[in-house]
């Protein structure tokens, strides 16, 4: 039976790695990820987790060591954030192209400069195109559950891709939440040890990371595109099997009070919880409004998202990061492109909010919706606006 415990979310993430019996953890400390790796180091030091903990000298080496460890056939975990994730950037492409099922928790934080240790999604957006499966957690239970499912998804022989589990730095990583902690035996039964398809084995020599001459590079990338596209139904399959085993169900897109909504917010990560409260208040005031939360960012759940926003005339897309010199933030750009490509006409307003740890309040979400509706009525374009800027 699962136990209900009060636990800091970072520790819940580390406990999930322990429940998964990871073989290797290679990590370098960076705020706000530190509590995750500190707790893992403790679990290894106390003999609660039988793993090699590699205290590397940089995040670049963290991901490099993870690539080596995963290529050796070991279940491998790391965690990072912000500048550290950016330092790994080069390695992330190689991990996915080599089809190594590494799991990484990212405690989302803004990027310098100016230096800021606080939350936004600038770090992960820089890694959008690295070929990793990427999803966002909203609360502590999700962090535990989705870190566990990350191993199951990544290591499925039909997938074999690295998975990035995003959780908002501080806002999520440093809060204590009630968490249902599954039994080890229950997890063991659901998540058996990793069996690699190919690995560095002197009994069966293979060459990994050869030169992709022009006659093969395109084909190699084509195979990788297929792999991440094909992972989509398998992600759903494993979330369903997790629900069956542990009783908590996850969907790539989650809708809240969207049934008759004329306008919906579109968001990712922990802001969604604030938006839901704001939606409740707006609903009480008679406004037909809802929220669509994108949990699975890569591969993007095109059909589910399109269905979730089908009835709304207005979308208010929240980007927790910037794209300099582009018409809108990355989430809004993506939403607009996918609606346009399907011939769907909607009013898509975009707000860049919650940068570098700036709080976004319920009232501000109400203002955003009011602004979007006013602009729509006036026939004005609302490409993108930064929220809460002091003029």
Partner 1 sequence: MADEGMTSWKSLALGCAMTEPGTARRFNTGDWRSRRRPITDREKCIKCGLCWIICPDMAYDPDPKAEGYYTWDSFYCKGCGICIAECPKQAISWIEEKEEDKYGPACGA
Partner 2 sequence: MISAAEAIKNYEKITPKNIPLAEPFSRGHRACQGCGEVLALRLVAKAVGQNLIAVSATGCMEIISSPYPQTAWNVPWIHVAFENAAAVASGVEAGRKALIRKGRIADAGAKIVAFAGDGGTADIGMQALSGALERGHDFTYVCLDNEAYMNTGIQRSSSTPFGASTTTSPSGSKSKGQMTWKKNMPMIAAAHNVPYVATASPAWHLDLMNKIRKAIATPGPAYVHIYSPCPTGWRCGPETSIETARLVVQTRIFPLYEVIDGKFVLTRDIKNPKPVEEYLKMQRRFRHLKPEDIEVIQKRVDADWERLLGFVKATNPEAAEKAE
The least distance separating partner 2 from the CB of residue 202, rounded to whole angstroms, comes to 5
Of the candidate residues 216, 240, 344, 386, the single one contacting partner 1 (CB under 8 A):
216
Burial readout 183-199 (b: 16 or more C-beta within 10 A, e: otherwise)? eeeebeebbeebebeeb
* Of 268, 321, 269, 311, nearest in space to 290 by CA: 311
Q: How many residues bind partner 1 (CB under 8 A)?
A: 23
- Residue 201 has what DSSP assignment? -
Q: How many residues bind partner 2 (CB under 8 A)?
A: 45
Q: Is 218 in the site for partner 1 (CB under 8 A)?
A: yes
- The span from the CA of 94 to the CA of 390, in Å, is 42
Could you tell me the CA-to-CA distances from 277 to 297, 361, 363 in Å, in that order? 23, 10, 10
Q: From the centroid of its chain, how far is CA 159?
A: 17
- The span from the CA of 305 to the CA of 229, in Å, is 16
Task: Tell me the torsion sign for CA atoms 335, 340, 342, 348.
Answer: positive
Of the candidate residues 80, 97, 130, 270, the single one contacting partner 1 (CB under 8 A):
97
Q: Is 99 in the site for partner 1 (CB under 8 A)?
A: yes
- Residue 230 has what DSSP assignment? H
SS3 of residue 25 by DSSP: strand
- Cβ(21)–Cβ(75) below 8 Å: yes
Q: From the centroid of its chain, how far is CA 25?
A: 19
The least distance separating partner 2 from the CB of residue 219, rounded to whole angstroms, comes to 10
Of the candidate residues 76, 79, 80, 258, the single one contacting partner 2 (CB under 8 A):
76
Nearer to partner 1, 99 or 293 (CB): 99
The two structure tokens encoding residue 359: 């709080």
Nearer to partner 1, 97 or 147 (CB): 97
Q: Is 65 in the site for partner 2 (CB under 8 A)?
A: yes
Q: From the centroid of its chain, how far is CA 97?
A: 19
Nearer to partner 1, 226 or 380 (CB): 226
Of the candidate residues 1, 185, 203, 378, the single one contacting partner 2 (CB under 8 A):
203
Q: Is 240 in the site for partner 1 (CB under 8 A)?
A: no
Q: Is 201 in the site for partner 2 (CB under 8 A)?
A: yes
| Residue 367, phi then psi, degrees to nearest 5 | -65, -40
Rg (CA), the chain: 21
Using the rule CB under 8 A, give the single segment among 130-138, 210-218, 268-276, 362-370 that binds partner 2: 210-218
The least distance separating partner 1 from the CB of residue 359, rounded to whole angstroms, comes to 43
CB atoms within 10 A of CB 288: 17
Nearer to partner 1, 94 or 180 (CB): 94
Q: Hey, which residues does 263 pair with through a beta bridge?
A: 289, 314
Q: Is 188 in the site for partner 2 (CB under 8 A)?
A: no
- Residue 330 has what DSSP assignment? H
Out of partner 2, partner 1, none, what residue 66 binds, judged by CB under 5 to 8 A for its kind, is partner 2
Whose tokens are 């997790």? That residue is: 242
Of the candidate residues 58, 112, 184, 226, the single one contacting partner 1 (CB under 8 A):
226
Using the rule CB under 8 A, give the single segment among 2-10, 89-97, 155-163, 244-252 that binds partner 2: 89-97
Q: Is 158 in the site for partner 1 (CB under 8 A)?
A: no
The least distance separating partner 2 from the CB of residue 320, rounded to whole angstroms, comes to 30
Could you tell me the CA-to-CA distances from 174 to 73, 109, 118, 170 in Å, in that order? 32, 13, 12, 5
Of the candidate residues 223, 303, 326, 370, the single one contacting partner 1 (CB under 8 A):
223
Residues 6+ apart with CB under 8 A from 46: none
Nearer to partner 2, 21 or 173 (CB): 21
Q: Is 161 in the site for partner 2 (CB under 8 A)?
A: no
Of the candidate residues 13, 81, 87, 91, the single one contacting partner 2 (CB under 8 A):
91
| Binding residues vs partner 1 (CB under 8 A) | 97-100, 160, 197-198, 205-208, 210, 212-216, 218-220, 222-223, 226
Question: Which residues in this chain contact partner 2 in the complex, by CB under 8 A?
Answer: 23-24, 26, 50-52, 54-58, 60-61, 64-74, 76, 90-91, 94, 98, 193, 200-213, 216
């Amino acid at each position: 039976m699962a136990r209900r415990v009060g636990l800091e979310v970072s520790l819940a993430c580390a406990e999930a790695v322990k429940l998964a019996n990871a073989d290797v953890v290679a990590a370098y400390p960076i705020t706000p990820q530190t509590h995750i790796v500190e707790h893992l180091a403790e679990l290894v030091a106390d003999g609660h987790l039988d793993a090699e903990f590699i205290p590397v000298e940089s995040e670049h080496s963290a991901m490099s060591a993870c690539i080596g460890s995963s290529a050796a056939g070991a279940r491998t975990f790391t965690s990072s954030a912000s500048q550290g994730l950016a330092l790994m950037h080069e390695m992330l492409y190689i991990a996915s192209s080599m089809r190594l099922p590494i799991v990484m928790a990212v405690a989302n934080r803004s990027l310098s400069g100016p230096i800021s240790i606080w939350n936004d999604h600038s770090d992960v957006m820089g890694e959008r195109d690295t070929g990793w499966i990427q999803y966002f957690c909203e609360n502590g239970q999700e962090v535990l559950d989705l870190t566990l499912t990350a191993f199951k998804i990544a290591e499925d022989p039909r997938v074999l891709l690295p998975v990035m589990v995003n959780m908002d730095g501080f806002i999520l990583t440093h809060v204590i939440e009630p968490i249902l902690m599954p039994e080890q035996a229950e997890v063991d039964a659901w998540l058996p040890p990793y069996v690699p398809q190919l690995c560095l084995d002197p009994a069966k020599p293979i060459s990994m990371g050869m030169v992709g001459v022009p006659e093969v590079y395109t084909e190699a990338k084509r195979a990788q595109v297929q792999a991440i596209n094909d992972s989509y139904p398998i992600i759903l399959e494993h979330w369903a099997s997790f629900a069956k085993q542990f009783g908590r169900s996850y969907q790539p897109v989650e809708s809240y009070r969207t049934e008759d909504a004329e306008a919906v917010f579109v968001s990712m990560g922990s802001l969604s919880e604030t938006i839901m409260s704001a939606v409740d208040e707006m609903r009480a005031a008679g406004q037909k409004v809802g929220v669509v939360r994108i949990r699975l960012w890569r591969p993007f759940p095109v059909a589910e998202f399109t269905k979730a926003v089908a009835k709304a005339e207005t979308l208010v897309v929240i980007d927790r990061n910037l794209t300099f010199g582009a018409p809108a933030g990355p989430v809004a750009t993506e939403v607009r492109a996918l609606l346009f490509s399907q011939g769907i006409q909607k009013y898509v307003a975009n707000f860049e909010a919650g940068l570098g740890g700036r709080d976004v309040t319920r009232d501000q979400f109400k203002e955003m919706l009011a602004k979007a509706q006013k602009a729509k009525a006036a026939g004005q374009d609302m490409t993108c606006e930064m929220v809460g800027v002091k003029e």
